[in-house]
Structure 1
């Protein structure tokens, strides 16, 4: 890391780790692994008569609250509905809500990560290099071998991004812009958002100086139900600054379907370079 601290750290919910991170990486944004929290729901509420309803509602409160205000209101309603005000586990989670609730953390860049669970990728990373009988000394040596193998695979993927081109699925100029700039894997992520824009439509609300305010309504399918979800977008077209209440770009580094919907509707041909993340570019050089 060239003696630079990480900008963001995700760990399990552990006091000792938290204390160490806050001392050693005081300037890093620290959060808890959301997967580790959610997986405890059966343990904490499995004996409740309304367990299934609590599990569904808690998930909705956590994942579907777009803003802090929405989360606060939905959390209070959930506690009232199921009489959970005295639940110590929920009390601790609420006290530390800024460390795990998406509405509180999605304003920072996390490269789309919200959990530490990468078991499949870690297994594949060490596959063929270490096993249960590997000694600590052997592990250090094999770790270097595994790391070198990973670098070589990334170099091959980078070469493929230059050698082969994933075809565009629309005639929009911005898709061609991202096709030219991004690696194949990141361009495919952009294409997913581009495809999902078909479920969105934008409405002009008002203009405040150079800022135009829009609402983008997305027809979402949640389980077997369909639901209209409204997102707010602020656009300064002169300087091209755009912010969506979903905070997808801030969180993942990929323009969201709501912004893409607005851009294509306004027939804008390209986005400024600050909306094309350097780390996702084909020509980005990684240090081995």
Structure 2
């Protein structure tokens, strides 16, 4: 299971070996995850359309918003739709999905393009429309997800770990390699922490609010905020309605030769502004439309309620307690990380040296504390023919026919070449 830290980096929260991808297995995994993460259930979890996992999430995380990966769904349009209909109407489907801020607008645009394409009775499109609350941005944007709408981070993380591990690793070798990869990932986070602790990001706009956020936010999050602040200068406000309770503005912006309009509502009693784009709710960073209103009202400093702690440099400060109220200490202490990295390298060198001789292999293999798990076929794995290299690995290590040792064959045997 993956998450996002205060630098916007992908981090591993937990991992588990599952012999079967069933509902029961996923429920067990999620329950163990809750024990390891005492902060409560996650606000949002993003998965593909796995039915067993969906049921397990509803059981283990009843209050968590389960979002379906939008990229997995949109990539199927080219396969599920007739070729002519896809080529002609895919752009309109894209606009309906990505360029709408509210539910009614999406429903109207979707129905228009489906009718034009003659696909009102298409079973797959109908099923996706029925699931729209789980994947369409206009329906899902009000749930915080650190800006994620797909499982692309997970796929990128898989590519990162594949540099260190493979399916041919034994269990112990996998653990060593996986720990090494985690150490390298954690090192990037420590580097970002160090940069933020000793450097302040340079502001492009000389404004008190910009300087305030440069001090509070991590470098990556400040860059996202400043981009919104810069784009707010190109937004135009128009008063829509006003009464004793609230003021409503239409905020328009010109982008890609199109004018888009967002609605900003300011509630007077609570002194709170919200926007139809839902960027603050979804990403946790105030949007350009509200910033345009702040600039109009000459608000110099960002109110504290719009600054999420999770994007601050001080996000990791404070105590974390388990279910019994006992403090959980940070296991990512730099000194401990250095020791673990050093010990991992030593262990890796010992394994490499042992592999060079039979005596070394025998010493390390005398006592088996843990056996490798049985290999199982994962969902989605192709049923292609096993490559020749994998077949060779299954046959095991070849021994010399003359002396019985490994590392050479009969033609290169030292016993035959000895004068």
Indicate whether the TM-score tops 0.5. Answer: yes
1:138-287 map, 5 Å:
138-221=173-256, 226-236=257-267, 239-285=270-316, 287=330
**Retained in 2: the 8 A contact 1:240–1:272?**
no
1:90 paired with 2:121, answer no
- Corresponding residue number in structure 1 for 2:18: none
Query: Closer, same or farther in 2 for the Cα pair 1:167/1:238, shift >3 Å?
Result: farther
Offset from partner CA, 1:172-193 (integer Å, 9 cap, x none): 2211121110000100011111
Q: Distance in 1 between matches of 2:174 and 2:59?
A: 28
- Corresponding residue number in structure 1 for 2:324: none
The 4+ residue runs of structure 1 with deviation greater than 6 A are: none
Q: Distance in 1 between matches of 2:205 and 2:50?
A: 47
Tell me which of 42, 53, 56 is aligned to 1:17: 53
Look up the SS of the partner of 1:50 in the other structure. Answer: helix
Unaligned runs of 5+ in 2: 1-36, 318-329, 333-419
1:4 paired with 2:62, answer no
Q: Distance in 1 between matches of 2:166 and 2:49?
A: 27
Paired residues, number = 282
Q: Which has the larger radius of gyration?
A: 2
Deviation at 1:237, TM superposition (A): 5.6
Deviation at 1:215, TM superposition (A): 1.0
**Retained in 1: the 8 A contact 2:43–2:143?**
no
**Retained in 1: the 8 A contact 2:254–2:260?**
yes
Deviation at 1:244, TM superposition (A): 0.4
1:30 paired with 2:66, answer yes
Offset from partner CA, 1:51-110 (integer Å, 9 cap, x none): 222211111111112100001111111121111111111111111111001111101101
**Retained in 1: the 8 A contact 2:249–2:264?**
yes
Q: Distance in 1 between matches of 2:251 and 2:296?
A: 11
Tell me which of 151, 157, 164 is aligned to 1:129: 164
Look up the SS of the partner of 1:83 in the other structure. Answer: coil
Unaligned runs of 5+ in 1: none
Query: Closer, same or farther in 2 for the Cα pair 1:20/1:257, shift >3 Å?
Result: same
Deviation at 1:3, TM superposition (A): 6.4
Q: Distance in 2 between matches of 1:147 and 1:229?
A: 43
Q: Distance in 1 between matches of 2:179 and 2:162?
A: 13
**Retained in 2: the 8 A contact 1:215–1:230?**
yes
Q: Provide the alpha-carbon RMSD of the alignment.
A: 1.8
1:69 paired with 2:79, answer no
TM superposition score normalised by structure 1: 0.92
Look up the SS of the partner of 2:228 in the other structure. Answer: helix
Query: Closer, same or farther in 2 for the Cα pair 1:236/1:135, shift >3 Å?
Result: same
Look up the SS of the partner of 1:49 in the other structure. Answer: helix
Look up the SS of the partner of 2:42 in the other structure. Answer: coil
Offset from partner CA, 1:4-28 (integer Å, 9 cap, x none): 3222110001212111111121111
Look up the SS of the partner of 1:74 in the other structure. Answer: helix
Deviation at 1:218, TM superposition (A): 1.0
Q: Distance in 1 between matches of 2:207 and 2:294?
A: 10
